[in-house]
Structure 1
């Protein structure tokens, strides 16, 4: 999904599409960071 959003971001002149593509990219990056952090936190917690 992020790759498609980057393609739209680079190929369009419509501001609404650019804003939507940026929102998708930041959402994907944020979700990746969140799940990476939660996995690291889960690994450090005792059973």
Structure 2
């Protein structure tokens, strides 16, 4: 939610065949491309 184009966001768990559960992110706000989001978040998360 720190990105200026995101108004509200949530991460929830969804079923996954291999991992039993995975996270999915949902957002509301201005359109931001996947690459823009990744570039913004990359410094804040481990790259693995």
TM over 0.5, yes or no?
no
Instruction: Kindly name which structure, 1 or 2, has the bigger radius of gyration based on alpha carbons.
Output: 1
Q: Which structure: greater helix fraction? A: 1
